[in-house]
Amino acid sequence: MSEPAAIHLYDVVVVGGGAAGVGVAVALQHAGIDNFLVLERHTVGSSFASWPAETRFITPSCTTNSIGMLDLNSVVIGTSPAYTIGVEHPTGWEYSNFLKATAKHFELPIRAHTDVTNITRRGDRFAIETADCPIQTRHVIWAAGDFQYPRLNGFAGSNLCRHTATVSSYAELDGDDFIVVGGYESGVDIAHHLAERGKHVRLFDRENPWESESSDPSVALSTYSLERTRRKAFAEQVELIPHSPVESISLLDSSYEVVTQDGRRFCTPSQPLLAGGFEGSHTLVSDLFEQREDGFPLLNEHDESTLVPGIFLCGAAVRHDNLIFCFIYKYRQRFAVVAKAIAASLGLPAEGLEMYRMWGMYLDDLSCCGQECEC
């Protein structure tokens, strides 16, 4: 009787094949780590490919590598979506293709169509459960992203809304009068496209992001979105309703009634649209991280869990004190930090990461990544 085959032990498993997963995987290569695997629930860049067809990046892509700067939307040194795709504000589908091309160029070991169902720490290694077979690894990098996990339960009746993440194209929306709940980037995006089609839109937000004084696009509207709010169609067709958190939504006969917390009532025959953001995939592994007061995972200086050593976080959910790394050009700065920490635990010198320091992507501390700087 033959002995059962031994289960391969990886040094690192990256969960997620989006911008964060692809970027940190290449950083692992540069750190001299080759015994790693990337697990992707669907295919590389699938979250971007599922964006509404009209939605584009708010951060511009520009081929600035010649003067030592990175394209804002690149995840790997020496690459540029602007050069590869040839557009300044890529669509999600275009950026998905860029990520696929990057993964192919660097020959990343990616296992697609693999859904991770559980991660547990067992002694000095992790057991990752999938529908196919268990996987063992010394380190885990959680980089599963946000877009596939929309926030749906913010108020009573929110289930009656359609989240913007479920819209494949704004052209498919029937009706002439729309209410959009959430006035940040996604809300402005959908309001802009509906207005361009001659639709009337009422855009609600609990605050007033259209007039924020902050210079940090993590908490204020990007210039790209602000410019859209000044266009003729937007000004004529969109009614901005600030400081109006929604209390409830109900369906009355053939009309939806939206009630704000101060008691105002608004009606529309069209299904309300919810642009309330995303829960984020980090909620799926909350048992492996301590929680900050704002609900995000608590991390040490290497973006590692303070509760379960060996599991790291990459992507838009990374937070340090009041620093928010929710854009690609912000969270990519942490790839080399994670890769270097893992390389050190494996006894590798990680000499290939010095190029990250020259390009400003590896930081010895967090002091130059504040909300008011242009990271």
pLDDT > 70: what percent of the chain? 92
Q: Dig out the tokens for 269 from the structure.
A: 């025959």
Instruction: Read off the pLDDT band of 375 (50, 70, 90).
Output: very low
What are the extents of the domains in the chain?
9-148+278-358, 158-274
Segment 203-206 long-range contacts (CB within 8 Å, at least 24 positions apart): 203/238, 203/239, 203/240, 203/241, 204/179, 204/180, 204/241, 204/244, 204/246, 204/258, 204/260, 205/240, 205/241, 205/242, 205/243, 205/244, 206/243, 206/244, 206/245, 206/246
Q: What pLDDT is attached to residue 370?
A: 43
Handedness of CA 88, 59, 151, 316 (dihedral sign): positive
- CA 103-106-109 angle, 5° bins: 65
Q: Taking the CA atoms of 27, 360, 372 and 59 in sequence, report the sign of the dihedral they define.
A: negative
pLDDT reported for residue 284? 93
Least confident of 54-63, 140-149, 357-366: 357-366
Say whether pLDDT at 88 is over 90.
yes
Q: Look up the pTM and report it.
A: 0.92
Could you tell me the pLDDT band of residue 374, with boundaries at 50, 70 and 90? Answer: very low
pLDDT for 158 beyond 70: yes
pLDDT digits (tens, 9 = 90+) for 109-123: 999 999 999 999 999
Q: Which two tokens stand for residue 293?
A: 């007061």
- pLDDT grade for 220, boundaries at 50, 70 and 90: confident
The CA distance from 42 to 343, in Å, is 28
CB 313 within 8 A of CB 335: no
Please say if the pLDDT value at position 373 is more than 50: no
- Residue 141 pLDDT more than 70? yes
Show the DSSP H helices in the chain as ranges: 19-30, 46-49, 81-85, 92-105, 185-196, 223-229, 232-237, 328-331, 335-345, 354-358
CA–CA distance, 272 with 259 (Å, rounded to integer)? 12
Q: 325 is written with which tokens?
A: 């790394």
CA-to-CA dists, residue 74 to 2, 18, 23, 81, 96, angstroms = 49, 12, 8, 6, 12
According to CATH, the topology of domain 158-274 is FAD/NAD(P)-binding domain (3.50.50)
Q: Is the pLDDT of residue 372 over 50?
A: no
Distance CA 296, CA 370 (A): 18
pLDDT tier, 65 (very low <50, low <70, confident <90, very high otherwise): low
Is the C-alpha dihedral spanning 136, 141, 142, 147 positive or negative? negative
Q: What is the mean pLDDT of the chain?
A: 91
Fold designation for 9-148+278-358: FAD/NAD(P)-binding domain (3.50.50)
Distance CA 312, CA 329 (A): 19
Which of 60, 56, 144 lies closest to 94, judged by CA? 56
Whether residue 147 is predicted with pLDDT greater than 90 in this model: the reply is: no
Q: Do domains 9-148+278-358 and 158-274 have the same CATH topology?
A: yes
Q: What is the mean pLDDT of residues 228-256?
A: 96
For 149, the enclosing helix (H) or strand (E) is none
**pLDDT band, very low/low/confident/very high, at 241 (cuts 50, 70, 90):** very high
The amino acid at 65: N
